[in-house]
Amino acid sequence: MNESASSYILTANPKTIHWGYFSSELKPVLAINSGDIVTVDTFASCSQDEYEAAGIAPNLIPQALRDIFREVKERGPGAQILVGPIYINGAETGDMLEVHIKDIKLTMPFGFNSIRYGRGTLPDDFPYDSTRILSIDLDKMTSEVVPGTVVRLKPFFGTMAVAPPPIMGRISTMPPGIYGGNMDNKELIAGTILYLPIHVKGALFSVGDGHAVQGDGEVCVSALETALKGTFQFFVHKNKRIRWPRAETPGHFITMGLNQDLDVAVQMAVREIIDFLGEEKGIGREDAYRIASLAADLHVTQFVDGVKGIHAMIPKSIFVMQQVCGTHNDSKF
């Protein structure tokens, strides 16, 4: 850790969130230096009325969430309530932002899962809206979806993003893109490193869309959406260009493909493997293609956000002469 790093706390309230849209013109709510640490509180986009209608006691619904629904009138077409943006001093277009996800904690004993009319993987099979509030056992880290069916929780943030390029203007938070965004990648848990290409001065990082648990695909259109507290450390890499978001877990490197066409998303993720192996390991394209076929696992990240996601998991164990776990000083990206 950077010994001179400063630490900050950023709470979700009407003055620190933007709702449903990204823009390079958003005003930052916090400015930090490379190496600094920020702890962020976030909320899912379920209103107090919806929670109370499902039987959640009013005293369990944070006042800050009530304030956001009451006071924030400017909302984009997306559903996500995001905290930020955070301005990182020294970050410029063409640099890369390295985001260490140091810790993630659940902060409410309930969340919601929704089926939305006309959306999801099977819209014709479920032509209606349905939202269910699910209890969360914060001690056992589980949720009983239906009686006798319990899932173990693995919290992560569905949306982490830098600002999009200015030419894109104001855009929805729903589809992911070259800025990151609503990637819904369940591998981005505590202990993971996310890498994002920077498109504007200061990077303008935002986060939200807390998920208690989600399967690859997110097929019904949502995860177990809930409130999370996350701690992040940010590092700016000057003149380190990547085209698409990448990530790194203790055991894997991750490349991503994002496109409306799932076949194209697969091709993008595989090309990213080839590029990564060439750039960081000095492996030729043909050999990299072979390695992708022999060792990389491709997962359908999500299928329901308009832009579909594929992420490729490349095990670090195949690089027998390499250090297994990267840090901000020896990152493989």
Rounded to an integer, what distance in angstroms lies between the CA atom of residue 198 and that of residue 86?
Answer: 13
Each residue's pLDDT tens digit, 113-145: 999 999 999 999 999 989 899 999 999 999 999
Same domain (yes/no): 188, 300:
no
Each residue's pLDDT tens digit, 208-234: 999 999 999 999 999 999 999 999 999
> Does 203 score more than 50 pLDDT?
yes
Residue 331 lies in a domain: no
Same domain (yes/no): 179, 309:
no
Show the domain range for 298.
Answer: 251-318
- Listing from the earlier edge strand, what are the strands of the sheet with 7-10? 7-10, 37-41, 228-237, 96-106, 193-197, 246-248, 252-259, 308-315, 297-302
User: Does residue 157 contact residue 104 with C-beta atoms inside 8 Å?
Assistant: yes
> What is the model's pLDDT at position 333?
57
Q: Pick the last residue of a domain from 207, 237, 267.
A: 237
Task: Find the CATH number of the domain harbouring 297.
Answer: 3.10.28.20
- Distances in Å between the Cα of 255 and the Cα atoms of 31, 301, 313 are 29, 11, 7
> Which tokens sit at 18?
């933007």
Helix or strand run (H / E) with residue 114: strand 110-115
Same domain (yes/no): 40, 179:
yes
> What is the model's pLDDT at position 163?
98
Same domain (yes/no): 188, 283:
no
Answer whether 0.75 is exceeded by the pTM: yes
Residue 182 lies in a domain: yes
Residue 332 lies in a domain: no
